[in-house]
Amino acid sequence: MEPSTSAPAVTSSKQFLRKHMLKLAPYTPIEPFEVLSTRYGRKPEDIIKLDANENPYGPPPEVRQALGTMSFPHIYPDPETRALRQALAKMHNIPVEHLLVGCGADELIDLLMRCVLEPGDKIVDSPPTFTMYCFDADVNDARVVTVPRLEGFKIDVEGIKKAVAEHQPKVVFLTSPNNPDGSMIAEADLLAILALPVLVVLDEAYIEFSSEASRLDWVARYNNLVVLRTFSKSAALAGLRVGYGSFPLEMIEYMWRAKQPYNVSVAAEVAACAALTNMEYLNTVRDALVQERERLFALLKEVPFLEPYPSHANFILAKVTGGRDAKAVKDALASQHGIMVRHYAKKELSGYIRVSVGKPEHTDKLMAALKQL
C-alpha cells in the first residue's frame, strides 16, 4: 500500500507537550570520567574530579561484596525498601513509618512537588543554593519566589517572612549545610521559618560533615517539616542513587501512593544496607575529609586570587579575585592539568569556583596547578 500523499495530521510532536515545558531550561549535570577522559585526552585515573562533591574514598568494602553476591537481582525490588528503612530507623532512633527511600534525594524532591504543588503554586528559594529546587519547580509548572541570601550566605529570615505573607507559597526549601558555600542554618532561624504557615523542606545532604546533629527526629514534632538525607556523599554511593527522607505521617501516606512502585533498585538497597554495617569506616572517611577540608581551606587562603569561605560540608566555595575570570580558572585547571572544579553560570556565582574535598594528594596537585596559573 502506497503511503498517503495528503498533508500529515501532525506537523510537530511539540504540540503534545505541556506548554510550560517549552520554556524549561535544561539542568546542567556534572559529566562522568568517561566523557572527561575523551574530552581532555587523559586516562580516567589521571583526572582529578573535584567538581561534584563525590566521596573519593569510595564505599565500605562490604558494599562491593554485597553487590557481588546479590541473591535476587532478577526479581523486582521490595517496593517498601523495608530492610533499609528498618536499618535507618534503628540508626536514627525514629519510627520507621516516617521514612521514605528514593532514587537519590532528587527523586524525593520531585515526588514531593508532584504531591504538593498545583500548577501555578509557589515555592520559596534562597539562592545561591541547590539548583534542583528551581529546576523541579519549573518541571512541575510551579512559580519560584526568590529570597536571596544575605552577606556571608546567611539565610534572610525576614525576607522569607515577607515573601510568605505576600505570595502565600506552599513550600520553603532550606539546605544545611548549604550548597555551594557550606554554611549552616541557625536553629533560631529554622524555628522562625517553621512557625510560618508553609511546608519547610530541610535538605541535609552534607550534614555528616558538620558538627551539628540531624533534625530527622524533628519531623515527629512539626507537621510542616520534611528532612532529606542521602547516601551519595558520606557513604560514597552517588552512582547507585539512594536518598531518604523523614516525612509527617499525614503526608507520607500519600507520598507512598504517588511514588513509582519499584523506585529503588535491588542493587541500591543492598549497597545502602551494606554500607550501614560498617559505620567505623564511614566515620573514619568522614573524619579524613573534614581534616582535609580544613587543610584545603588554609591552603586556598594563600592563593593570591582566591577568597575561600569556611565550610561545614565536603567542599569549599572560593571567590575569584584580582581581575581573574572564574570560568577561565576552571577551564585552565581542566585543560592544562586534568583537575575538575565547579563553576556556575548563575549571575550570583559567576565569580566563584567550588572545590570538592579530595584526598591529600588531590589537594597537593590542585595547589601545584593553581601556582602555575
149-166 confidence digits (pLDDT tens): 999 999 999 999 999 999
> What phi and psi, each to the nearest 5 degrees, are found at residue 50?
-120, 35
Region 208-232: mean pLDDT is 97
H helical segments located in 168-315: 187-194, 249-258, 266-276, 279-301
* Residue 35 pLDDT greater than 80, yes or no: no
pLDDT number for residue 60: 97
Spatial distance between the Cα atoms of 366 and 334, rounded to a whole number of angstroms: 11
Spatial distance between the Cα atoms of 145 and 149, rounded to a whole number of angstroms: 13
Spatial distance between the Cα atoms of 214 and 55, rounded to a whole number of angstroms: 20
Spatial distance between the Cα atoms of 141 and 57, rounded to a whole number of angstroms: 39
pLDDT number for residue 339: 95
Split at pLDDT 50, 70, 90, the class of 4 is low
Please name the fold of domain 61-278.
Aspartate Aminotransferase; domain 2 (3.40.640)
Classify domain 15-57+280-371 by CATH number.
3.90.1150.10
Q: Does the pTM exceed 0.85? A: yes
Q: In a 3-state reduction of DSSP, which class is residue 341?
A: strand
Cell numbers at 229, concatenated = 538525607
Q: Which residue has the cell 582535609?
A: 292
Could you tell me which residues are beta bridge partners of residue 245? 100, 228
Closest Cα to residue 51, out of 357, 361, 363? 357
Split at pLDDT 50, 70, 90, the class of 118 is very high
From residue 233, alpha-carbon distances to 3, 114, 160, 182, 282 in Å are 55, 26, 29, 14, 10
Region 138-147: mean pLDDT is 96
Ordered by start, the domain boundaries in the chain are 15-57+280-371, 61-278
The beta-strand segments (E) located in 98-248 are: 99-102, 122-125, 143-146, 171-175, 199-203, 225-230, 243-246
From residue 347, alpha-carbon distances to 14, 148, 203, 344, 350 in Å are 30, 12, 23, 8, 5
Contacts 24+ apart (CB under 8 A), 142-145: 142/113, 142/117, 145/169
pLDDT number for residue 1: 57
Split at pLDDT 50, 70, 90, the class of 261 is very high
pLDDT number for residue 2: 60
174-192 tens-digit pLDDT: 999 999 999 999 999 999 9
313-351 tens-digit pLDDT: 999 999 999 999 999 999 999 999 999 999 987 888 889
How high is the mean pLDDT of the chain?
A: 94
pLDDT number for residue 348: 83
pLDDT number for residue 27: 78
* Residue 297 pLDDT greater than 80, yes or no: yes
pLDDT number for residue 197: 98
